[in-house]
Chain A
Amino acid sequence: MTTPGGDDVNGARPPRVLLLAMEPGSKRERIIELASSFLAAGAQVDVVTARERGWDGLDGRARLHRLNPIEAGHPLPWLENAIVVRGPRLVVRPLRWFGRAGAFADRARSRAGRVVHRRLFMPFYRHVRPLILARLARRYVLPAIDMSEVVRVVVADRTAVPLGWRLARRHPDIAVTTRMEKDLPGRPGLSGASP
């Protein structure tokens, strides 16, 4: 028998499943359910996400890796914030001491910053972000995961694709899929696991 997180009676490590859910959106509940079913089947589960909230329902035995705090410190969003928000604020804020005209300038600065962020930066960052998250996960999350134990990687959303795609190329023996199936390949004892 396999106990979650521990060795089985033969001393073999239980299989591990990696759930990549960077921006899970409406799929979050399914991810949580999937994690529970894998855990119930005796597997170890790691969830990698870039979303801070919404994971209260995740089984406590699953390891949750949040990338969003690390992402906030990444040079690209940090630089954008510095150029679009913090820098102009530093220049314009003091103008408020000059009355209505200064307040107007500050509001205009704030509005312009939002427009630049939404209309210019985000459309660009949307396409770069999956690559950044993949890089951050490789640097800060994957070293803590023994990939020799991983039997399946489930990619739950498009933002998680670059990380999953890279794992698929580097580990040809691991199933890397977008299908949210509950079976574990090559593990007969765990096949057809159900919650």
Chain B
Amino acid sequence: MPKRRPRLLYLAFYFPPSRASGIHRARATANRLADQGWDVTVFAAPLPFLYDTIGSVDEKLMRTIDPRIAVVRPELNRYTWQTDLRDFSGFRGRFPHLAHSAYLWGQKHIFPERYLSWARASVNRALRMHARRRFDVVLATGNPFASFGAAWLFHRLTRTPYVIDYRDSWTLDQFNEKPRFDDEHGSWRWESRVLKSAANSVFVNEAQRTWHAERYPEVADRMMIVMNGWDADTLPDTPEPPPAARARSGERGLRFTFIGTITAEQPIEQMVEGFGRAREHPEMAGAGLDLYGYFGFFKGAAGPLRGRFGGPSGDQDGQDEQALAPGVSYCGPLSKTELADVYRDSDVLVFLNGGGRYVTSGKIFEYMAAGRPIVSVHAPGSAAEELLRDYPLWFNPGGLDPADIASSMVAAAKAAAGLDQRQVDEARAYAERFERTVALEPLVRRLAELTTRKRASLDDHARR
């Protein structure tokens, strides 16, 4: 009899076509497991929520999903997101105070997050699917952390082991580096409960793991680190030297590039001022900074963020939509398939990051794999510094002083112009350890162990 493929239930609310923070980790994990012969079922956000409510989608990402992966989209009650009264239910339309009290009761007494209804629907769907063909293991990624709650409840009802993946932190505000909730908040109780029953909990860096281990020492031995990584299908096998090193002197202005989502936490003003000062340097004549990506993760974020660049707001007629500040251009979002070309045409990469020691931007791995000089623009102590420390083409201003940022940019530009293939290869060789399949390996191995153990226990039970 052929051996049944291991079956995974992956609770990943933000999954393509969503373009939310961290979806590449979920996408890569599902693809990797499907590639390794797993039968993967992903529970993701309903499409009306992604398209109509938060307006945060990149349809091209759907093409990067392995067709063997089954994507199920349980219902979500969009209570707090509804602004058009036609979307209100009859109950809410007639008894708004009662509907609100019921919503608050659920938040207080069931699960303290507005994705609660999705978690409940997920458990219902999962139980029905499990009854037909059982899941061997559950992997839940947060945010939203209702997915952790759903994994816990499914485990309670079916004894299926689960692993929780802290793509973001739940009770820790990773940007302010303080607890996110007061001591009485229900999230603490839920986090403790979920961690105690989890087979493993996974964190993206050591600082986050340590923070959680100090708060939950009884489960610290089950905490793992699975860093983010770069995806081999988005970059060439062998990056070539930057255009500045290939072209004759003065043939083309240096291209500084930022790729990623521009968010409110990032030190945008310092980057713009630093770049402005760097352009005053004779060797930086004609240099430009191109920004690729989205403004914020949700619709409506663009205006205030564009305003922080100090240039035209871009929302009035007759303005250059691209110009954000002198020399700084906005080039729009990129699909995964276009990344390789943009990296190839870039001389220097600007690592604009808003987080501290708990935030490792997923983009930094791709930056390193591109084999380009990287200029850091973030507060000292970022988790990314640990990774960049041994990267041979890292230019660190050591802080957010625009003068220091400008100096680092000029130094990086000079380095880019003199790079040869050997140096680029060395940079790529360093980044190879962060390739996604390598980074995911401990998680894949652990999931396989849990599946084997679960099946052995079921077989044992059947024999008895």
Contacts and interface: CB of A to CB of B under 8 A. Distances in A.
Interface stretch (A30-38, A123-131, A136-144): A123-131
Nearest to A158: B96
Given A164-B85, A177-B84, A178-B85, A158 B100 contact: yes
Contacts of B92: 161, 165
Given A130-B96, A131-B94, A161 B88 contact: yes
8 contacts: A130-B97, A155-B85, A159-B97, A161-B96, A165-B94, A168-B85, A169-B86, A175-B84
Given A161-B85, A177-B83, 20 more contacts: A127-B97, A130-B95, A130-B97, A131-B94, A131-B95, A158-B97, A159-B96, A159-B97, A161-B88, A161-B93, A164-B85, A165-B85, A165-B88, A165-B92, A165-B94, A166-B93, A168-B85, A175-B84, A176-B86, A177-B84
Interface string A144-178: 00000000010100110110111111001001111
Shortest beta-carbon contacts, A-B, top 8: A165-B93, A161-B96, A158-B96, A168-B85, A176-B85, A178-B83, A179-B83, A168-B86
Contacts, number: 48
Majority SS at the chain A contact face: helix
Majority SS at the chain B contact face: helix
Contacts of B98: 127
B99 to A, nearest CB: 9
Contacts of A130: 95-97
A138 B313 CA distance: 43
A126 B96 CA distance: 10
A21 to B, nearest CB: 14
Contacts of A167: 85
B320 to A, nearest CB: 19
Nearest to A169: B86
A67 B82 CA distance: 27
Nearest to A164: B85
B84 A176 contact: yes
A18 to B, nearest CB: 12
B80 to A, nearest CB: 11
Contacts of A179: 83
Nearest to A181: B83
Contacts of B83: 177-179
A164 to B, nearest CB: 5
A9 to B, nearest CB: 23
Contacts of B100: 158
